[in-house]
Chains A and B, each alone.
Chain A
Amino acid sequence: MNFKTLILASATSLLLAGTALAQTAVKIGVLNDRSGVYADLSGEGSVIAARMAAEDFDAAGKGITVEIVSADHQNKPDVASTIARQWYDQDGVDLIVDVPTSSAAFAVNEITREKNKIFMNSGAGSADLTGAQCSPNTVHWTYDTWALAHGTGSAMVAEGNTKWFFITADYAFGQALEKDTAAVVEAAGGEVLGTVRHPFPGTDFSSYLLQAQASGAQVIGLANAGGDTVNTIKQAAEFGITQAGQALAGLLIFITDIHALGLETAQGLVLTESFYWDLNDETRAWSERFAAENDGKKPTMVHAGVYASVLHYLKAVESTGSKETDAVMAAMKATPTSDPLFGEGTIREDGRKVHDMYLFQVKTPAESTGPWDYYNLLATIPADEAFRPLADGGCAFITN
């Protein structure tokens, strides 16, 4: 063809390509607990985080329209499964994020695999999401039970707390957390003196705390979460357990739990998280912006995970020029992650996002300068040690 036609054709195709990119409409669903025990650590805050990610990425300027929807799964797998199914089938959602509560996360994991969409989990804990239940459609971002068990467990044993007693929520997540931590304790030369499983959710833990006290353990490991953990710690203070000399290890605690407990009760607790708003300048700046939209409440690591995962997803959509699942997943795993909240990291083949974890200790009331100033950093666990090795997970589709 002659030169003019060539120019015309090229111009047209460029234009079309430009409009094709401008046509990329991405719909993100934030599915979490908006009214129950995990509403504070996820809830509306995650929606805010997702929106901030879309704005910071300047999606509009890059020709990607981002629509964000949200729903409440009430911490139930059947509700989560129904919403996810409807979102994927009827409402054109491409990506689901957050989903705390492991049982709900498994359900969404299944539906996402079936419909070949993408699921980036920030809120749930079970390490099985990248282990026995792993899926090529799922990325597990913020933390998992293995990382927490190794962080808190090893740290406490290293300080000489070798005798443990567990108070465990009697469901899959609690049992997994207890099992992982017990393995760490025993591998480090410690001893598990006993364990008691309470119905989930529980209200009165006095009986279990008394048993823990009678066992003579140095550390009482709390393999539960949310309201259960808060109540156990409160009642431990009431019954003088900590005053009598036993230490409490909260195996899964969020900054919102510390806020609910108050420093008077929570001081001295050792815990592992992957993000803290006051860690460095970048986290501080982001958290200020977040708090401004969230009634002054600082972000939890779950909120941070939602922000970072949405950001990484949008980058992948931009680089591949489409939202086609396989291409975007490949791009996400091939590209290292970089964001102001988690720093540098990568997404492994099994979907596990790998980054540094941090060991914190709750400040005493005297050390704290104000609300949300709760943690002292004890140690940083480097990314290559923080998470379960790829080969140990039992993930079925990894190729080596």
Chain B
Amino acid sequence: MTTPSETGYRSAAAALPIGTPRHHVVIFAVLLGLLLIAPSVLYPVFLMKVLCFALFASALNLLLGFGGLLSFGHAAFFGSASYVAAYAAKAWGLNPEFAILLGVLAATVLGLGIGVLAIRRQGIYFAMVTLAFAQMVYFIAVQAPFTGGEDGIQAVPRGKLFGLIDLTSDYTLYFVVLAIVFGALLLIYRIIHSPFGQVLKAIRDNEPRSISLGYKVNRYKLAVFVMSAALAGLAGATKAIVFQLASLTDVYWSMSGEVVLMTLLGGMGTVFGPIIGAAVIVTMQNYFAGFGAWVTVLQGVIFVASVLLFREGIAGVLAKWLKKPL
């Protein structure tokens, strides 16, 4: 069975040594530096959106690029965490950190439930199962009274972090979100560059061989699925606090498609690819918002071009050029 690794990013990913390559440390440091000064130049709310989607795409990449499993229903985790966090903050008046934690918990539980059932299938069937479950989550979101249906949950208070730091100011919130997202990205990095991550890549590249070597493949797959769901939930819950809104867009299947696009464009199986992909797509959506359906066309063109011409994504192309894995 052919795997996504035949695309060429295997050359980028296979060279991954144990331990943290120095150039990755440099990239993270530079990235952090840029993000720290960014709000003085760009609109903080826009930056926060980029951060949340960068996390969402990285979470999907964990599953897709490193686990080799295409989930077409990740919006279910993003959106359900978004709703739970919004509800917790608004109706129960919880502090934002508890609201976000509850959101992550909801996404994790949902990820476990769907994962247990979906892992039993592979390839396209796995993708279709995740899509089916995501549609069911969408349906629940439409029908359940607490989600507010078409209106969504609006006027979600930003609250005070730990009861002390007032998050109403966009600038304060930006640094909180930066801390959350950056921390999560480092966590993802750590997962990828660990023995667990190595086994995952082995399973992705050659599942029968991994089974023959004695690894309990299904457990690894389920573990990465749940981790991916939890991190996607973190992105969704944070987004709900930032935008003070949870709506049906968060659980609709086009959201799943968009995050796949971000990962594909940025580079599946690379560390920094999803971040790049998210930044490009969110920027494009923002600045071309006035052009209506041209955004859809542009996204479609990017999809087609990425699949036909550079499957390794932006980060993959950069990695080939720099001759270092990204």
Direct contact of A and B (CB under 8 A): yes
Measured CB to CB, the closest approach of chain B to A76, in angstroms, equals 6
**Contact between chains at B149 and A76 (CB < 8 Å):** no
Instruction: Give the distance in Å from the alpha carbon of A4 to the alpha carbon of B207 in the complex.
Output: 97
Measured CB to CB, the closest approach of chain A to B199, in angstroms, equals 39
**Contact between chains at A89 and B150 (CB < 8 Å):** no
Q: Which of B122-181 contact A (CB under 8 A)?
A: 142, 148-152, 154-155, 170
The verdict on A78 contacting B292 (CB below 8 Å), with A103-B150, A103-B151, A106-B151 known, is: no
Closest to A200 in B: B150
**Contact between chains at A35 and B292 (CB < 8 Å):** yes
A72 within 8 A of B: yes
Measured CB to CB, the closest approach of chain B to A69, in angstroms, equals 9
A82 within 8 A of B: yes
The verdict on A78 contacting B243 (CB below 8 Å), with A89-B45, A110-B155 known, is: yes
| Majority secondary structure of chain A interface residues (helix, strand, loop or mixed) | helix
The verdict on A107 contacting B245 (CB below 8 Å), with A86-B43, A86-B45, A200-B150 known, is: yes
B contact residues around A200 at 8 Å (CB): 150
**Contact between chains at A102 and B151 (CB < 8 Å):** yes
Instruction: Give the distance in Å from the alpha carbon of A46 to the alpha carbon of B40 in the complex.
Output: 35
A262 within 8 A of B: no
Measured CB to CB, the closest approach of chain A to B237, in angstroms, equals 15
Q: Which of B194-222 contact A (CB under 8 A)?
A: none
**Contact between chains at B151 and A89 (CB < 8 Å):** no
Task: Pick the contact of B149: A81, A82, A90, A171 (CB < 8 A).
Answer: A171
A71 within 8 A of B: yes
**Contact between chains at B247 and A85 (CB < 8 Å):** no
A contact residues around B243 at 8 Å (CB): 78, 81-82
A contact residues around B49 at 8 Å (CB): 82
B33 within 8 A of A: no
A contact residues around B151 at 8 Å (CB): 77, 102-103, 106, 171-172
**Contact between chains at A71 and B150 (CB < 8 Å):** no
Flag A65-84 by CB within 8 Å of B: 1 or 0 each: 00000011000111101110
Q: Which of A79-99 contact B (CB under 8 A)?
A: 79, 81-83, 85-86, 89-90
Q: Which of A95-115 contact B (CB under 8 A)?
A: 102-103, 106-107, 110
B36 within 8 A of A: no
A contact residues around B154 at 8 Å (CB): 77, 81, 106-107, 110
Instruction: Give the distance in Å from the alpha carbon of A81 to the alpha carbon of B290 in the complex.
Output: 15
A contact residues around B247 at 8 Å (CB): 76-78, 103
A71, A106, A173 pick with most chain B CB within 10 angstroms: A106
A contact residues around B46 at 8 Å (CB): 86
A356 within 8 A of B: no
Flag A156-180 by CB within 8 Å of B: 1 or 0 each: 0000000000000011110000000
Instruction: Give the distance in Å from the alpha carbon of A86 to the alpha carbon of B42 in the complex.
Output: 12
Flag B247-277 by CB within 8 Å of A: 1 or 0 each: 1011000000000000000000000000000
A333 within 8 A of B: no
Measured CB to CB, the closest approach of chain B to A168, in angstroms, equals 12
A355 within 8 A of B: no
**Contact between chains at B45 and A85 (CB < 8 Å):** yes
Instruction: Give the distance in Å from the alpha carbon of A198 to the alpha carbon of B296 in the complex.
Output: 28
Measured CB to CB, the closest approach of chain B to A179, in angstroms, equals 14
**Contact between chains at B45 and A172 (CB < 8 Å):** no
Q: Which of B's residues lie within 8 Å of A, judged by CB?
A: 43, 45-46, 49, 142, 148-152, 154-155, 170, 243-245, 247, 249-250, 289-290, 292-293
Closest 10 A/B residue pairs (Cβ):
A171-B150, A103-B151, A35-B292, A103-B150, A110-B155, A78-B247, A171-B149, A77-B247, A78-B249, A172-B151
Complex A-B: 8 CB contacts under 8 Å: A72-B289, A72-B292, A77-B151, A86-B43, A89-B43, A103-B152, A106-B151, A173-B150
Known: A89-B43, A107-B154. 16 other contacts (CB 8 A): A72-B289, A72-B290, A76-B247, A77-B150, A78-B243, A81-B154, A81-B244, A81-B245, A86-B46, A106-B151, A107-B245, A110-B154, A170-B142, A171-B142, A171-B150, A172-B151
